[in-house]
């Protein structure tokens, strides 16, 4: 069996990924989120609030079960939050902590535990961290989000370098999905213009039908899993 461990399966890309993976009768999906949105005999839900780092630390063992004769094991750190959209100097004091807990600390903990838990499994292992183009460029009002995705990119690059040195065979990607029709995009379109200079552009993306669907993106991510790209960590969905 091919085993997927996916965070944020309650909605958006995570839900679409889980559903698409389950189309293959040879897959089992472990979904990690606060909400159950999928019912399937090969889908196993694990409740976790990735913003509660203490609870996550105490329950990590539940997220990585013993797997029977795996052909491939895939971890997809999909869950992420935009956080408060506001300029530095006008943000709430806990915004950076909240965003970094979900977008950086939780994925890093899951990556660390995933490698430790399945290091002895003699099968291909893939880690995909859902990143963002915002990790590569500054976007006003998004300081916490941009910084968190840049950090996730560097964790991915460092992890791959380590696995190459160890010759473990583990493949790591930081994958930017592009603009996708999700709840995060809806949040962006509702921000006041004074807190985000690119508001009109994002509103036009929706009006003009230029947002990808989560289902379209999930198909491309599964294609990457089935056809790994060697010697590349930072990947854009539009290039797949």
Asked if 146 and 131 count as a contact pair (C-beta separation under 8 A), the reply is no
Name the pTM for this structure.
0.95
- The residues that are catalytic are 145
Per-residue pLDDT tens, the chain, 240 aa: give them.
999 999 999 999 999 999 999 999 999 999 999 989 899 999 999 999 999 999 999 999 899 999 989 999 999 999 999 999 999 999 999 999 999 999 999 999 999 999 999 999 999 999 999 999 999 999 999 999 999 999 999 999 999 999 999 999 999 999 999 999 999 999 999 998 888 999 999 999 999 999 999 999 999 999 999 999 999 999 999 998
C-alpha distances (whole Å) from 87 to each of 154, 200, 209 are 24, 17, 29
- The CATH superfamily assigned to 2-178+213-239 is NAD(P)-binding Rossmann-like Domain (3.40.50.720)
Closest CA to 199 of 131, 149, 130, 139: 139
Q: How far apart are CA 205 and CA 202, in angstroms?
A: 5
């Amino acid at each position: 069996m091919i085993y997927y461990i996916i965070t944020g399966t309650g909605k958006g890309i995570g839900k679409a990924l889980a559903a698409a993976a389950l189309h293959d009768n040879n897959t089992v999906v472990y979904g990690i989120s606060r909400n159950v949105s999928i019912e399937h005999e090969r889908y196993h839900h694990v409740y976790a609030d990735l913003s509660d780092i203490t609870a996550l630390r105490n329950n990590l063992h539940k997220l990585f079960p013993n797997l029977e004769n795996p052909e491939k094991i895939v971890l997809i750190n999909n869950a992420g939050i935009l956080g408060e959209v506001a300029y530095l100097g006008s943000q709430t004091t806990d915004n950076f902590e909240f965003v970094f807990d979900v977008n950086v600390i939780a994925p890093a903990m899951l990556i660390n535990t995933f490698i430790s838990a399945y290091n002895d499994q003699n099968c291909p292992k893939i880690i995909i961290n859902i990143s963002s183009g915002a990790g590569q460029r500054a976007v006003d009002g998004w300081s916490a989000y941009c910084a968190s995705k840049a950090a996730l990119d560097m964790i991915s690059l460092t992890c791959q370098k380590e696995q190459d040195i160890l010759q473990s065979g583990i493949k790591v990607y930081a994958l930017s999905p592009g603009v996708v029709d999700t709840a995060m995009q809806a949040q962006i379109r509702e921000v006041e213009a004074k807190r985000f200079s690119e508001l009109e552009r994002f509103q036009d993306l929706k009006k003009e039908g230029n947002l990808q669907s989560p289902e379209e993106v999930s198909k491309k991510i599964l294609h990457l899993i089935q056809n790994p790209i060697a010697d590349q960590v930072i990947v854009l969905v539009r290039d797949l």
